[in-house]
Amino acid sequence: MPIIELTPHQLRLTIDPDLLGFTNTSELVGQPLSWIGQERAEKAAYFGLEMEQPDYNLFVLGEVGSGRSSLLRQAMAKVASNKPVPPDLCYLHHFGVPERPLALHLPAGEGRLLRQKLTQLAKYLQTEIPRCLEEPALKAESKRIEKNFKLEGAKAFAELDAFAEKHHFAIQREAGRMVFTLMDKSGKILTEPQVLALPKERRAEIEEVEQALQAEIARYFEKIRPLERIKDEALITLQRNKVKLLLEGELKAIRSMLKLSAEDRSKFDRYLGKMEEDILENVALFKFSDTDEEKRKEEIKSLLVRYQINLVVDNHDLKGAPVIIEESPSIRSLFGSIEYQSVEGVLETDFTRIRAGSLLKAHGGFLMLHLDDVLVDSLLWEKLCRLLRSHLLQIEEPGTTLTQIPAVSLEPEAVRIQVKIILIGSREQYYILQEENPELARRFRIKVDFADSFIASAQSRLASSIFVAHACHEAGLPHFTAAAVARLLEDCHRAANDQSRQSAIFSRTETLVLESAAQCKAHTGCLVDVADVENALQARIHRHNYPDQCLQESIADGDVSIVIEGKKVGQINGLTQIDLGDHCFGAPVRITAHTFAGENGGVLNIEREVGLSGPIHDKGMFILQSYLAALFAHIAPLALSASIVFEQEYNGIEGDSASCAEWYALLSALSGVPLKQGIAVTGAINQYGEILPVGGLNEKIEGFFNVCEKAGLDGTHGVLIPHRNRRHLMLSYHVIEAVTQGLFHIYTAEHVSEGIELLTDFPAGFAPEADLNEVIHYPYDSVLGYAQKVLRAYRIACQLTQHTKAERRRFFGSAER
């Protein structure tokens, strides 16, 4: 196939505004947005979101700006609206083990109701229990019990008093003790000196009687203490029975208002039973006291806290399943936390200080996370992996183990959660996860793969126009004319570097919409037109192209040597692309080659020798050597040594897109046939000499065009590109205008042999379809014929050199003998 020069209409896709079907985008505002070009991702996303089984979490992969987050948010909201509202979650005081609060699920909205009822119950207890304990009937019964006790006690004391009186002792009760004193026969109390003045025998009798009296006192207390215990128990039972009747009605009302599952019903009934027992055990605190009333109130306040709930998840206002977007994930924000307060140097907490995280709030719904945010904290990532494995969430506060202040520990009951996690990441992260952690990858069974680009069609262009209409409507911007939208769509093709495919990175399009609208507002326009879009594009380029401009100026000033006129042997202009992230641009680079006779038959890649080339570039060089050896296999082995270098390139080379240009430079140096310097070359080659497509084509062509334009276009300048790259052309109108005027040319070739005649004005010497195994001799007046002649000369030179060395060895060997 001969060299083809492309016509201007082949250099760019031009979209006819009349085919879009609207005058301006205001006509499209009422139409719904769609997943433009993301049909595969859309089906996968909805399938995964609607799956109820565990481990069907979603891993969303794609480029930033492809709409992966915003579209998944819309899908999550849509699916969530048709799902049931999940239950509330609260934590309860554990009466048996306070440091292990109980978790309880309640139907949505009933958590708030239960909290309200228990708050009312606490107020009710503070007023009704004291009132109940002050009822006349209860007081009367209490007095009767106390009266019976006093009668029994008086009877026992009378017996003790009679015994004491019989032995001349007076006895009386003082603060729960028995005090007795000795009296004489007249009933007067004897003082200690008087007792000591008594005869010895009398004092001994008194001591015996005193011991007997103490024994009687002990027997008295043995009788009275059981009576006191019976009295106290009777009074407490009386009060508890009265209060229990009060509680039963209130607790029954609370039980009846909740619609719990069997498991939660059993747990809640046990909790209310323990609450009732705790209230009855502390009923004495509710009695008014004349002494230390403040202390009693504090104790009641502390007691009543136990009877409240900590509603950590309240879903009363939800209309469907929850949708949580966690923008700053941490252990506290995701898994929940426990708050502490310092009391006298000790960190204290209780069940009311438990706080839920996003995972608990998303129970029964969806939680979106960005993998980059999660991977910042390795502990968070490990904890999330364990959760995905067990589906059990344990709230803990790891920070307390790191502090030197003593802390009261708390271990809330673990909660089984059902939450679908939507993890946003890159393709690289997805496949690393598949390879390094297959167990975790199994938890993300749904792959939502967002395409970088898609095949353009009338439907996709209409959908893109609707996207522009919605962007204008939501931001309050002037709408776009059909011609302006057509220019936006052309830019989408330029971003994809493809005439048949459109870029799926709509964040770029949205940015261009905003900037074009700003250009329109600057001249007080009503509608954004093509000129506004063009101005926005040029303004964006001007903001970012300073490095490009500096390089162009260096070439124009001669600091970077690029020759674009005449012919040179072993020298050619290759094309490179420089990607700085915010701006990509192309530039020519001079590639030079030298050949000389040698025995190794290899090509020295100077970039590789100094560590400035990447593995893909090295691969291209090895392919080049292989093809060169195949071309001259009929005169093998080759007595050739060669070197190739990218002149004035100090930042490194990667990629194989210059291998075609390198091959031409090497062949020129070998054959001695000069190459046209006005034609730059890009393209990769394979082992059969076929030219393969490369990337960054538009930037490369425009970069070389800018150099030629500054030097002065005269119709001899152009580029040679792979034939398979034709559909990737989306060149600027400025370049197309020069092509139309015949000042610049775009050539395509399928095989390296086709480009030889264009670059040298000499025939190649073989056809692309020729079988190299059948080649015996190339024509003398062809480029390969000249190269063949030089290679044979190199072989003769090497043979002569080897013969001379052999003769020298023989001469010196015989001399030694």
Q: Where do we find the tokens 């790191």? A: 402
Q: Which residues neighbour 755 within 8 Å (Cβ) at sequence distance 6 or greater?
A: 3, 660, 664, 681, 691, 720, 747, 749
DSSP assigned state of 57: -
What sections of 632-696 are H helices per DSSP?
659-671
Nearest Cα to Cα of residue 238 among 130, 126, 145, 151: 145
| DSSP secondary structure letters along 512-558 | HHHHHHHHHHHTT-SSB-HHHHHHHHHHHHHHH-HHHHHHHHHHHHT
Contact 572, 664 (CB under 8 A): yes
| DSSP secondary structure letters along 611-658 | T-B-HHHHHHHHHHHHHHHHHTGGGPSP-EEEEEEETT--S-B-SSTT
* 65 Ramachandran zone, left/alpha/beta (phi>0; psi -120 to 50): left
The active-site residue out of 337, 358, 465, 657 is 657
What residues pair up with 633 in beta bridges, in sequence order? none
Is 626 assigned a catalytic role? no
Contact 747, 719 (CB under 8 A): yes
Question: 76 is written with which tokens?
Answer: 């999550």
The active-site residue out of 117, 361, 676, 700 is 700
Q: Is the omega angle on the peptide bond into residue 637 within 30 degrees of 0, that is, cis?
A: yes
For the chain, the residue count is 817
Would you call 177 exposed, middle or buried from its count of C-beta atoms within 10 A (0-12, 13-18, 19+)?
exposed
Distance (Å, rounded) from C-alpha 315 to C-alpha 86? 7
Distance (Å, rounded) from C-alpha 256 to C-alpha 89? 19
Would you call 779 exposed, middle or buried from its count of C-beta atoms within 10 A (0-12, 13-18, 19+)?
middle
Distance (Å, rounded) from C-alpha 216 to C-alpha 198? 25
**3-state helix vs strand vs coil in the chain, percent to 5:** 50, 15, 30
Nearest Cα to Cα of residue 552 among 523, 592, 585: 585
Collapsed DSSP state (helix, strand, coil) of residue 87: coil
The DSSP H or E segment spanning 590 is: strand 584-597
Distance (Å, rounded) from C-alpha 239 to C-alpha 137? 11
Is 287 assigned a catalytic role? no
Question: 745 is written with which tokens?
Answer: 């040319």
CB hemisphere CA count around 34 (13 angstroms): 16
DSSP assigned state of 7: P
Question: 223 is written with which tokens?
Answer: 């009788």
Contact 180, 171 (CB under 8 A): yes
Q: Which residues neighbour 643 within 8 Å (Cβ) at sequence distance 6 or greater?
A: 593, 594, 603, 604, 605, 606
Question: 120 is written with which tokens?
Answer: 């009312």
Contact 579, 698 (CB under 8 A): no
Contact 100, 414 (CB under 8 A): no
What sections of 86-109 are H helices per DSSP?
none
DSSP β-ladder status, 102-106 and 88-92: antiparallel
The DSSP H or E segment spanning 88 is: strand 88-92
DSSP assigned state of 776: -
Distance (Å, rounded) from C-alpha 812 to C-alpha 526? 97
Q: What angle do CA 99, 104, 107 make, to 5 degrees?
A: 160
For the chain, the straight-line distance linking the first and the last C-alpha, in angstroms and rounded, comes to: 66
Question: 268 is written with which tokens?
Answer: 């809640």
Amino acid identity of 204?
A
Q: Which residues are catalytic?
A: 657, 700
